[in-house]
Structure 1
Amino acid sequence: MKFEKPQTGNPHRLTVNQHVFPKSCISRFCNSDGVVQLFSRKLGRVIELAPGNDFFCVKRMWDQSAEAGIGKRAEDRFVRLARGIISGSVKTVGVFEKAIVEEFFSLWRTRHKFKVEGLPDIKLEGLSGDQLTKDEQEILESKHVSFMLEGVMPGRFAASIHLFGFHQQFAINNHQMQWGIVRAGQGEFIVPDCFQDMMVIPLTPTIAIAADQSDSVLTIDEVATVNQLALTRVTDYFFARNFSRCPVIKRSPPRLQRMFVPD
């Protein structure tokens, strides 16, 4: 699907650069200079980037409803939960927190899927669609309304349906799954562009939420294993506060061997 540029000046304030992993989440990994260390597979080297850099974004891959509606609501709920965990006011992931965590993880993974696979335009047979000017199209999208042009619906309008469907299926598949708050006793976590089938959400360089784990402190070997498994799931890049503080190991301690999405 080709990126569709908005009108000059973007008068209806459509989000063009859309973060796959939220900017607020990346920000918690910044060093004192306000940047993270990132390894780009394409560039083949480490670079330093601010969380708002376009490198973390796709261009108008999903519509404004998926960005400012379902996506923002999931992000906002997760950000509040993350703040509670980091401050210590939230001690464990209970039933209410589990729903928030799984909604966010599904959002992250589905956005990454959109980035990798795209969202093709949808041809609807027997329907001619609307005769709309560019301005009318953007007004409708800004108000979270979908439309067709000459019988074709831009693929980005299917995003909300996919987001909802993938999340519902994820929740069904993992209804008995429990999540734990894990902290690095030594070392720091690496964040891949997506953990994919590995159910981990890093909150800070030393705190993460992990599936099928008890609230606990990880040994340096366990942190190294999480980082190694993260690297095997990278598509385009991974980042951290400081790579020199991120151990990596291929050995898998027993209690981390079930941290995956069940088939």
Structure 2
Amino acid sequence: MKFEPTQPGNPHRLTVDQHVFPKAGIQRFTNSDGNVEIFIKKLNRVLQLRPNNPIFCAKRVWDQKTEAAVGKHIEDRFQALARAIVNGTVTTIGILEKRVVEEFFSLWRARHKFRLEGLEDVVLHGIAGDSLTKDQQEILERKHVMYAVDGVMKGRLLASVHVFGYQNAFLQDNQSMQWGIARSYSDEFIAPDCFADMMIIPVSPRIAIVADQPDMILTHDQVAVINQQAIARASDYYFARRLALIPVARKVRLPFELRFSNRQY
């Protein structure tokens, strides 16, 4: 799918650089300079980047409704939970928190898929649609209205349909599954661009939410194995506060049973 730029000056303030993993989540991994250390696979090198760097973003792959309404609602609820976990006011994932965690994990995976694969335009057979100007299209998108132009609906306008479809399937698949808060006292986590089928959400350098596990304190070896899995599953990059200090297992031998998603988006 080809990137479609906005009108010059972006008069309707449509989001062009769309974070796959939220900026607020990346910010919790920043060092004293306000950067994260990111290893970019295609460059085979480590860079120091700000959380707002476009490398963390898709380029207008989903529409404004999916970004500013659907995604923001899910993100805001998760970020409130993440802050509460970090400051210690939430110490376990209960029934209400479980829904927040799973909606966010599903959104993260969906965004990552959209970024890698795009969303194809859809031909609406038998529906002509309208011949809209670029300005009219952007006004409609800003108002979260779906539209077709000359019988074709742009793929990004259907992103929210996919998000809800993936979310409902994921929630259904994991009704009986519990999440645990995993903490490390000394070692730090790597955050990949996506964990893919491994059901882990990095919250901060020393906290992660892990599927099908009790709340626990991780050993050095357990953190090292999770980091090895993060590196293996990252498609384009992974980041941390200081990569040189991150433990990574040389051999994959899971010291506890990690949960994987049965459903591939």
**Do they superpose with TM above 0.5?**
yes
Tell me, yes or no, if the aligned pair for 1:222 and 1:252 is still in contact at 8 Å. Answer: no
- Does residue 176 of structure 2 align to residue 176 of structure 1? yes
- State the one-letter code of the partner of 1:236: D
Q: How far apart, in 1, do the equivalents of 2:45 and 2:37 lie?
A: 10
Counterpart in the other structure of 1:198: 198
Offset of 1:18 from its aligned partner?
0.3
Offset of 1:13 from its aligned partner?
0.5
Counterpart in the other structure of 2:72: 72
Offset of 1:245 from its aligned partner?
2.1
Q: How far apart, in 2, do the equivalents of 1:254 and 1:140 lie?
A: 52
Mean alpha-carbon deviation: is it higher for 17-26 or for 242-251? 242-251
Q: How far apart, in 1, do the equivalents of 2:233 and 2:220 lie?
A: 20
Counterpart in the other structure of 1:23: 23
- CA deviations on 1:52-74 (whole Å, 9 max, x unpaired) are 00111111000000000110000
Over aligned residues, Cα RMSD in angstroms?
Answer: 1.0
Query: Structure 2 unaligned runs (5+)?
Result: none
Mean alpha-carbon deviation: is it higher for 179-188 or for 165-174? 179-188
Q: How far apart, in 1, do the equivalents of 2:99 and 2:155 lie?
A: 28
Offset of 1:95 from its aligned partner?
0.4
Q: How far apart, in 1, do the equivalents of 2:3 and 2:243 lie?
A: 33
Tell me, yes or no, if the aligned pair for 1:174 and 1:262 is still in contact at 8 Å. Answer: no
Q: How far apart, in 1, do the equivalents of 2:84 and 2:157 lie?
A: 34
Q: How far apart, in 2, do the equivalents of 1:27 and 1:158 lie?
A: 30
Counterpart in the other structure of 2:186: 186
Number of equivalent positions: 262
TM value normalised by structure 2: 0.97
Tell me, yes or no, if the aligned pair for 1:186 and 1:219 is still in contact at 8 Å. Answer: no
- Does residue 57 of structure 2 align to residue 57 of structure 1? yes
Identity %: 57
- CA deviations on 1:65-98 (whole Å, 9 max, x unpaired) are 0000110000000000001000100110000000
Counterpart in the other structure of 1:246: 246
TM value normalised by structure 1: 0.98
Counterpart in the other structure of 1:118: 118
Tell me, yes or no, if the aligned pair for 1:185 and 1:220 is still in contact at 8 Å. Answer: no
Mean alpha-carbon deviation: is it higher for 212-221 or for 185-194? 185-194
- State the one-letter code of the partner of 1:23: K
Offset of 1:99 from its aligned partner?
0.1
